[in-house]
Each structure stands twice: as structure tokens, then as C-alpha cells.
Amino acid sequence: MRVIYCISSYGKTCHDFKMGYVIPHTLKPLIKNAILGRTSCSDGTRINQQMNIYMKHIVFLLFLCLSTVLLGTAYPEPAAAEKLDPQKELAYRVRFGGPSDVEYLIGKGADPNGVNEYGVPLVSVAAARTDGQAVPILERLVEGGADLNQGGPSRQYPIILAARNGDIELTEYLLDEAVDTNVHDKNGITPAEIARYNGHDEVAALLAELEIKHAEALEKMTSPERYRELMHALAFEYCATQYTHYYFKSGQDTFSEDYMQSKKDIHLGKISTISNDLYQIFQVKLEDMYKIRDYAFKKIYDQMEELISNRNRRKHGIGKPEDLEKRCTTIADEWMEMQDAAEAKRKNIEAKRKNQQILNQY
């Protein structure tokens, strides 16, 4: 007979008892003495005394089993434990277990970005805890690759739950992890408003300060200065892409295919990021971006073609980072000057049109 029971963590603090280890010194001598017809043992104790000792061990084992049911969490043999669903067990342990349980199950293949049976992200389940275990468990989930900006269909973001519970430790942890605070619950209420409504002044003040900083950053991000900065950067990167392409294609210097592609990919990646910002923030149309591309491509191509040989191009520094920087910065500056002139002309025409409308009224 074998009994395995666990008082705490998942299979790590288990005690293993075998009946053969508990009572060999009582049961075996008892049987031997009974067969020989003795009324007492070699040590002077009588059989009934030996039987009393044996019964005490039986009572101990019964107490042990009862304690396991009432106080502990019984687990099957190791072979059977492997059949447990790690994902379901992780959802349970995130809600009721400890950090070591979570770490163990993630190591067994459970997904830290999963949800519980109600569709709530596990990061939100952890954040809802009010027993001081929210941060330690979230740390284990993040180490496993969890995204703290999940809220699920019910929009139960960890930052929302931290605000609702007034958990300053959790709030500070989430802010240190740079979570998105520009979110709201299913009723459209922000984290700062939730904390203020529930009387959690410290958390509310912390979140309100962050909202102010976010508003300032948003204003800066959507400013005319930022628009000009992005337009200039786009013209530069289009120029750099064509410059790099022409340089490698000319065969002026020899490089591996992987190296040349990696250099091109750097500029293409920047173009993608800048174009996305211009489109998302300033609603710049793709055809307007293509105009920048065509202008930059032609300008740098014409410059390179004027240097009719690799020897001549090498002499003028083609291929050196500082040469690319100088040529493409100049082309980007020229593009911006053209746009400024066009914008000034448009405003002048618009002003004349309005003045004419005013004169026509009289």
C-alpha cells in the first residue's frame, strides 16, 4: 500500500509513505510469535502489547488519510499526473495557487496568454487577486511571454482591475512594465476614474498624472513639427534605399547577398514604420507618399549616374555612410523646401479667394 499526499505546491512538497516502511517491526514479529505459539516476545512484551502497537500504527495511517482529504490536495502517481491538462491546471493555479505552481506549469507547456473557462485572460485572473499574490504570479506569466495588455471581451485589463481594487503595488508594477493605460472598461470608464470612484486616492493620483503625460505626448506626436519630421525622414529613407540598391548593383565593392539584403531591409523597415505613422496619425494618402518616393529615387539615381565608373564613384566616396547621409539629407531638405513653397502658394491663393468673396459682397 502506498499513500502520496501534498500539502502545498503542485507535486513539489509531497510525502511518500509505504506500509512496509511503517509496520515491519510490529507486524512481522507478531506473525512469527503467533505461529510459534508464544504468549510473549523475546523482549519480554506480550502479544497483546504488540497488537496494541500495531493498532496505533493503523490509527495513525487512518488519521493521515483523513488529514490529506481535509487539509491537503491529493495527487495521483507521477504517471497519472502527466495526464493532467496543463492549460486547465494553469488557469486554476493562477487563481488559487502560488508563483511556483505557475512557473512549473508554464514549463510543462501551458500558454501564459491563455484564458480561463469564462474567456478571461490569465493575466486578468491574476490581477484580480487581493491576497498579495497578484504581482508574483504576473511576474511568472510575463517571464513565460504573457502580454499584460489583454482584457478579453469583457475588457478586464489588469490595469483596470488594479485601479478597481486600489492595489498600489500592482499599479506600480504594471506602470513599470509600460502597459497601455489609455484603455477603458466595458462602460467606457478609464482606470483613473475607476480608482477615484472607488475611493482609492493614491492609485487615482498616480494614474491621473500618467494621463496628463499621455495627453502631452499625444499632442506632441500630432503636432505640425512632428508631421514635418516624419515627411523629411520618409524622403531620406527613400533616398537611402535607392542609394544602397544602386551601390550594391554597380559592383563597385563585393559583399555577400545576405549582407546586402540586411542593409536594404534596414531602410525598408524604417519606411514601413514612418509611412504607417503618417497614415494613421496625419491621414497622409499613399499617393502622396509615392510622390516623395519618386522624387527621391530620381534625384539620387541621377547623381549616381553622373559618376560614370566605379572608380569615379569610389573617388567621390560612394558607399561610405557619411556620403549617404550627406546626399540623402540634402535631397530630403530640397523636398521639404518644395513642399513649403507649394503650401505657401496654396495659402496665398486661398487668402486671395476669401478677399475676393468679401469684395463681391459689397
The residue ranges of every structural domain in the chain are 2-80, 86-215, 224-360
126: enclosing H helix or E strand:
helix 122-127
> For the whole model, what pTM was predicted?
0.48
Name the grid cell of 155: 475588457
Angle at 153 between CA 147 and CA 156, to 5 degrees: 60
Name the grid cell of 205: 493620483
Rounded Cα distance between 310 and 295, Å, is 24
CATH 1.25.40.20 at 86-215, yes or no: yes
Could you list the beta-strand ranges (E) of the chain: 2-6, 14-18
Angle at 54 between CA 48 and CA 56, to 5 degrees: 105
**37 conformational bin, left if phi > 0, alpha if psi -120 to 50, beta if neither:** left
Classify residue 55 by burial, with Cβ atoms within 10 Å: 0-12, 13-18, 19+: exposed
Rounded Cα distance between 22 and 14, Å, is 17
Check if the beta carbon of residue 169 is closer than 8 Å to that of residue 200.
no
pLDDT in tens, the chain (362 residues): 334 333 333 433 333 333 444 444 445 555 555 555 555 555 555 556 656 666 666 666 676 666 655 554 444 443 444 567 899 999 999 999 999 999 999 999 999 999 999 999 999 999 999 999 999 999 999 999 999 999 989 999 999 999 999 999 999 999 988 888 889 999 999 999 999 999 999 999 999 888 787 777 778 888 999 999 999 999 999 999 999 999 999 999 989 999 999 999 999 999 999 999 999 989 999 999 999 999 999 999 999 999 888 889 899 999 999 999 999 999 999 999 999 998 888 888 888 888 888 777 76
Q: What is the separation of C-alpha 13 from the centre of its chain, rounded to a whole number of angstroms?
A: 31
Check if the beta carbon of residue 56 is closer than 8 Å to that of residue 62.
no
